[in-house]
Structure 1
């Protein structure tokens, strides 16, 4: 980003669609209603990446949004791959991420960029990412979805302030361990430094992985309470779906092995193994279709994680060699289960 007050700042807002064009169009419309851009010198472009929906979504989105860049991702390689495609297609100073099942309030983009640029990106406060205040759409009373990502001392990644009543959540702008990929801003210089999302994770934990990499490289991650979105949680994938559970179980273990202190990583492995064992014992006691399906999925996720463990341990070594910040400094953000 340019450092002069009157310089233009290019912003690419990226949305990833997979077979949900109606949701995506509502998210795009919310970005078209953004305020406070001109006075801040922000040039906002919207990029929509269709992850190989194959259901007519691509043509429909191109017809509805001819003023925006709509990209054919070719196939569904996951959320991170879709975002990476959008970043490469429309380079900018700042990348804003918005889930396609979320709608942003009018000051969302301006608030994210204000917080990202506040320290000028120099000195000891190089701001690499800012995470938004994500509220759960349709809840009464209104509940919080996320004020950033955090990791527990057992390696579990989760949304900070999950299901806290919005009326009771008054956190000021400040440091968080990680950003939520559902609504955040990323500084292009930080991504040039540490790389884009890891596409091998496919979906879930890719934002936690990138947050660790940013922090180990000396970039800070902040929370902006003024950047607000309303999110229909997991409307695209479903929290009870097989792919959701498989990805969470596998990636929790892999990201802990890559980044967390050894006791945390070992606990994550033990938890995944214990969950698999419990599922197998449940089948032995009650061989119902539900128990069999759960055991098969857990065996697949644990087996996949085990196969990928050597590569992730090697990645851990490479991250350590390149790191500017010790692991213990990032681990100070870990919270109790």
Structure 2
């Protein structure tokens, strides 16, 4: 969005240092990208309007995938940084070694190497270095299988911001693909709060309702939403934040959520065995 020029320059430099070359697409969400100096190998796509995180990513995915020459796509936030030079090579090796690997999640750590609890895609998040199969991933740094995307579809653009990773993760698992958390693949990212965004509470609630309506078997919808309503009331200290959250919850109940395709019950059981049933 043109608001982090130094961070973006550092990120692009870390991408250029990778020991495996990659096609690079830079999406400008409502920014012309005229001030961003890149090499000829970087495709810049400026968008006239802000399509949000998932909508902007979809533009980049289509640019890479429709050419038919890409098997794996790595997506990185503009305030992230690859601190190792072999990330792309190791990602390629992971996907080459397992045909049904759909998503690889990176470990996110701040400038001191600390990984916040909410950045670990597990319920029992005491050890950020414990990798393996999971049911979720972080949007800031991850890799996606193009064949998986061909089966599941792209990001839910209507979400704009928040829970788009859960929607894609649930579709990935329901289609029989695997999500792996790889803590050795590190994306350095500043320690921030998602509540810094003015629309955080509204979008969080609205999109959580949409997610449930789109992806959960009907008996689990009230359970999932009830659990998260209780957790939100307990955790949220801001009265204004709670008002915005419940406003977003009502919006999610009243507005179209997109096409519904609920996950199979065997996917519910698979997620439960992986340690995170789709009610938490």
Q: Same fold (TM over 0.5)?
A: yes
> Structure 1's 109 and 304: CA in aligned 2 closer, same or farther, altered over 3 A?
same
> Structure 1's 307 and 64: CA in aligned 2 closer, same or farther, altered over 3 A?
same
Q: Give a deviation string over 1:106-151, Cα, whole Å, max 9, x none.
A: 12222222212212x1xxxx111111121123x4xx311476535x
3-state SS of 2:196 partner: coil
3-state SS of 1:90 partner: helix
TM-superposed deviation, 1:171:
1.5
Distance (Å, rounded) in 2 between the aligned partners of 1:306 and 1:253: 7
Q: 1:5-20 counterparts in 2 under 5 A?
A: 17-20=1-4
> Structure 1's 148 and 276: CA in aligned 2 closer, same or farther, altered over 3 A?
closer
In the alignment, does 2:34 pair up with 1:59? yes
Unaligned runs of 5+ in 1: 1-16, 38-42, 153-159, 283-289
TM-superposed deviation, 1:245:
2.2
Aligned residues: 271
Distance (Å, rounded) in 1 between the aligned partners of 2:34 and 2:226: 46
TM-superposed deviation, 1:267:
3.3
In the alignment, does 2:266 pair up with 1:300? no
Distance (Å, rounded) in 1 between the aligned partners of 2:92 and 2:200: 31
Query: Who is 1:171 aligned against?
Result: 130
TM-superposed deviation, 1:239:
2.8
In the alignment, does 2:219 pair up with 1:245? no
In the alignment, does 2:177 pair up with 1:219? yes
Query: Who is 2:210 aligned against?
Result: 254
Query: Who is 2:104 aligned against?
Result: 130
Distance (Å, rounded) in 2 between the aligned partners of 1:270 and 1:325: 22
3-state SS of 2:108 partner: strand
Distance (Å, rounded) in 2 between the aligned partners of 1:324 and 1:303: 27
Q: Is the 8 A contact 2:102 2:148 kept in 1?
A: yes
Q: Give a deviation string over 1:193-216, Cα, whole Å, max 9, x none.
A: 010000011112111110100100
In the alignment, does 2:4 pair up with 1:26? no
Distance (Å, rounded) in 2 between the aligned partners of 1:148 and 1:261: 26
Distance (Å, rounded) in 2 between the aligned partners of 1:89 and 1:109: 19
Q: Is the 8 A contact 1:131 1:147 kept in 2?
A: no
Q: Which has the larger radius of gyration?
A: 1
3-state SS of 2:199 partner: helix
When the two structures are superposed, what TM-score results if normalisation uses the length of structure 1?
0.70
> Structure 1's 143 and 230: CA in aligned 2 closer, same or farther, altered over 3 A?
same
When the two structures are superposed, what TM-score results if normalisation uses the length of structure 2?
0.83
Query: Who is 1:4 aligned against?
Result: none
Residue 82 (structure 1) aligned to one of 46, 52, 56: 56
In the alignment, does 2:229 pair up with 1:229? no
Distance (Å, rounded) in 1 between the aligned partners of 2:230 and 2:210: 16
Distance (Å, rounded) in 2 between the aligned partners of 1:247 and 1:18: 22
Q: Is the 8 A contact 2:28 2:46 kept in 1?
A: yes
Query: Who is 1:115 aligned against?
Result: 94
3-state SS of 2:115 partner: strand
Query: Who is 2:25 aligned against?
Result: 47
In the alignment, does 2:148 pair up with 1:190? yes
TM-superposed deviation, 1:64:
4.0
TM-superposed deviation, 1:332:
3.2
TM-superposed deviation, 1:275:
8.1
3-state SS of 1:59 partner: coil
In the alignment, does 2:80 pair up with 1:106? no
Higher strand share: 1
Query: Who is 1:156 aligned against?
Result: none
